[in-house]
Structure 1
Amino acid sequence: MPRARVSPLTRRGLLAAGGAVGLAAALAACGDSGADDTDGTGGTKDGSGSGTGAAKSGPWSFTDDRGQTSKADGTPKNIVAFTGTAAALYDYGVEVKGVFGPTRRAKDGKPDVQAGDLDISKVEILGNVWGEFNVEKYAALAPDLLVTAMWIEDALWYVPDQSKDKIVKLNPNVVALRAAETTIPQAIQRHAELAESLGADLKDPKVRDAKARFEKAAERLRQAARSKPDITVLVGSASQDLFYVSLAKMSADTLYFQQLGVRFIEPEVNAQGFFEELSWENVGKYQADIIMMDNRSSALQPNTLASRPTWAQLPAVKAGQVVPRTTEPIFSYDKCAPILDDLAAAIENAKKAGRAS
């Protein structure tokens, strides 16, 4: 598949877009699966993907989504991971020693939405915000594997550029898994492959039940979109000064929803190609029936926007049809099934919203 040129993004812009950059357009053109893909999840016919490993004994290796292979004499035990990736591994039964990225909410100390079911009191938090990564604490954990997401080609999500070389020197076994240039099923498959290499049992009833729920939820969303083809959805993220409207095909979640038939507003994106920035005076440019709002702690939430007149006049807001968007999904069947169900329910219950004057 040909690779498109990726324009640089600012930190705020990248976060607003859900970090989604890269080849989503090419992905959409090529379809959701490759020639060897039999189930739409991105795995190969034998289920091996590109990761290999001996979970219980003997040498371990895994080839990540950069094409780089990590190797060890035995299965890694001292694992450090980006919080959302750690949460996905946890859902397959793989626990980590340390995490970095949004983990604990600053306002109340409770787990961030990206922590999933992690018990954050039992992991070493190396950094909680962008640019924060405690290298000394990392070294003290004697890590034998670091795992993170990859939103931009070859970039390690939430690993600071200024300390990356030192971090990699301490432990060269680094695995990066795509969070863009992919779809939810493909990303789940790759996280499952990594988890299996680390000792997870993908035949465990909990995993199989979660996969069945995911497949059922995907079909429900497909049917909901088919039954209400005139319902339009806007993908939004709010900051103090700007409202970002994202292009659906540029993120793993909304690209997949689009493939299932959901009809999205298509903004006039900026030169970077991923979203349009609107001032709050112009937030009424797009008249959607449903608004999916970025649920991360880095974004303003709908309850804080009620005092903004232009927000209050949006058709979807007046109709009570604003729903959360899990902008950075935890890529496990267990966590993604509710995302599909929630959007399906929103579409099933949606009515055509009146247009603002």
Structure 2
Amino acid sequence: MSETRAWGFTDDRGTAVEAVRAPVRVAAYVRAGAALLDLGVTPVAVYGSGHDGDVLDPVKAGRLEAAGVPYLGAGRALDEARLGASRPELIVDVTYDGKSAYAVDEGVAERVGAPVVALSVGNELTLGAIIGRFGELAAALGGSGSGSGGRGVSGSGAPAAEAAESLVSAEAVLRDVAARVDVSVLALSGAGAGQVHLARPQAWPELARLAELGVRLVDPGPGPGANWLTADWERVAALAPGLVLYDSRANAVVPTGTAAGGRVAPWNPETPPSAEAYAAFFLELAEALRA
């Protein structure tokens, strides 16, 4: 790196971004922005994906709304003029395939003059590695790993060491509960009265981690689809899960207890990749398994 390029970061596509100083004004995809906020970096704006609507999905938002971070729309409805007016020096997105940014059109990013970094949230990395990569980016952007003490920091997150300890503690609680109960768990995303997408556990880093912790996840069985098997609700009944983890995002249909077979608990497939957020999810799941 040259002397005039004092800051740099290589994303999970292998794309290297360099600047004369660490970017201060960061725009981000909602999921990435919520994680950065947990890690001490407050975005100047966030945007959604093609699955999102005109307003910020509160399930995906984390503390973004409370921090006053503006939402600029999603997909083709992204307000490019407002994005440009926010004067981003960097745009942070995610990637599922290690090749392309998931939610932002890189042509839009180019027109507003901001480079894009995309961090992997796909199953080629473990959940721990995903959380670690977001921590590395936050540290590179001057975040303290907490909600205080860094540039553009909100004052609401937990210190990095405390958050990491909370995740370790939550995993221990969940491991203990999973060992004591005999409950099969099926993760799914409702698509309507006649259709449901059933998650393949090993395709999702957080579900794979749950399995490592002893949660008895149900595989939906053979059929097309790498991440989801699309089926009807009768398939759910046939699998007879003891607990259904349902996709709680705004674009998904919340199942009734009857359709899901009884016990249900929320699951956000786009939980912010921070130790703090996953610790909360694991503790919530432990309570659901105990019920």
| Amino acid in structure 2 at the alignment position of 1:259 | E
Deviation at 1:169, TM superposition (A): 4.9
- In structure 2, the partner of 1:77 is 24
- In structure 1, the partner of 2:77 is 132
Structure 1: state its 5+ residue gaps.
1-51, 350-357
Q: How many residues align?
A: 275
Cα distance in 2 between the residues matched to 1:326 and 1:180: 15
Matched, 1:185 2:144: no
Deviation at 1:83, TM superposition (A): 1.0
Cα distance in 2 between the residues matched to 1:118 and 1:273: 31
Q: Are the aligned partners of 1:247 and 1:269 in contact in 2 as well (CA < 8 Å)? A: no
- In structure 1, the partner of 2:266 is 324
- In structure 2, the partner of 1:14 is none
Cα distance in 1 between the residues matched to 2:56 and 2:116: 29
Matched, 1:233 2:180: no
Evaluate the alpha carbon distance shift between residue 99 and residue 270 of structure 1 in structure 2; reply closer, same or farther with a 3 A threshold: same
Specify the SS of the correspondent of 2:77: coil
Deviation at 1:273, TM superposition (A): 2.5
Evaluate the alpha carbon distance shift between residue 184 and residue 325 of structure 1 in structure 2; reply closer, same or farther with a 3 A threshold: same
Q: TM-score, normalised by structure 2?
A: 0.85
Cα distance in 1 between the residues matched to 2:76 and 2:104: 7
The CA RMSD measured in Å over matched residues stands at: 2.6
Deviation at 1:176, TM superposition (A): 0.5
Evaluate the alpha carbon distance shift between residue 272 and residue 239 of structure 1 in structure 2; reply closer, same or farther with a 3 A threshold: closer
Equivalence map 1:75-224=2 (5 Å): 75-101=22-48, 112-119=58-65, 122-127=68-73, 129-160=74-105, 164-171=106-113, 173-181=115-123, 182-202=125-145, 206-224=159-177
Q: Are the aligned partners of 1:111 and 1:120 in contact in 2 as well (CA < 8 Å)? A: no
Q: Are the aligned partners of 2:32 and 2:94 in contact in 1 as well (CA < 8 Å)? A: yes
Q: Are the aligned partners of 2:6 and 2:21 in contact in 1 as well (CA < 8 Å)? A: yes
1:29-56 deviations in Å (ceiling 9; x for gaps)? xxxxxxxxxxxxxxxxxxxxxxx9xxxx
Residue of 323, 340, 346 corresponding to 2:288: 346
Deviation at 1:58, TM superposition (A): 7.6
Residue of 189, 192, 195 corresponding to 1:242: 195
Cα distance in 1 between the residues matched to 2:271 and 2:110: 26
Cα distance in 1 between the residues matched to 2:186 and 2:65: 33
Specify the SS of the correspondent of 1:217: helix
1:155-211 deviations in Å (ceiling 9; x for gaps)? 212124xxx324235435211111112232211111111010111124877222221
Cα distance in 1 between the residues matched to 2:226 and 2:127: 21
Q: Are the aligned partners of 1:98 and 1:123 in contact in 2 as well (CA < 8 Å)? A: yes
Specify the SS of the correspondent of 2:159: helix
Specify the SS of the correspondent of 1:193: helix
Cα distance in 2 between the residues matched to 1:232 and 1:120: 36
Q: Are the aligned partners of 1:245 and 1:267 in contact in 2 as well (CA < 8 Å)? A: yes
- In structure 1, the partner of 2:253 is 300
Q: Are the aligned partners of 1:131 and 1:158 in contact in 2 as well (CA < 8 Å)? A: no
Evaluate the alpha carbon distance shift between residue 155 and residue 264 of structure 1 in structure 2; reply closer, same or farther with a 3 A threshold: same
Cα distance in 2 between the residues matched to 1:150 and 1:269: 26
1:54-113 deviations in Å (ceiling 9; x for gaps)? xxx9821111111111110011012110011111111122111111017xx969x67621
Evaluate the alpha carbon distance shift between residue 89 and residue 235 of structure 1 in structure 2; reply closer, same or farther with a 3 A threshold: same
Deviation at 1:340, TM superposition (A): 0.9
Q: TM-score, normalised by structure 1?
A: 0.70
Q: Are the aligned partners of 1:86 and 1:96 in contact in 2 as well (CA < 8 Å)? A: yes
Deviation at 1:295, TM superposition (A): 0.9
Identity of aligned residues (%): 26
Specify the SS of the correspondent of 1:293: strand
| Amino acid in structure 1 at the alignment position of 2:271 | P
Deviation at 1:123, TM superposition (A): 3.1
Q: Are the aligned partners of 2:46 and 2:71 in contact in 1 as well (CA < 8 Å)? A: yes
| Amino acid in structure 1 at the alignment position of 2:72 | L
- In structure 1, the partner of 2:151 is none
Cα distance in 2 between the residues matched to 1:222 and 1:282: 28
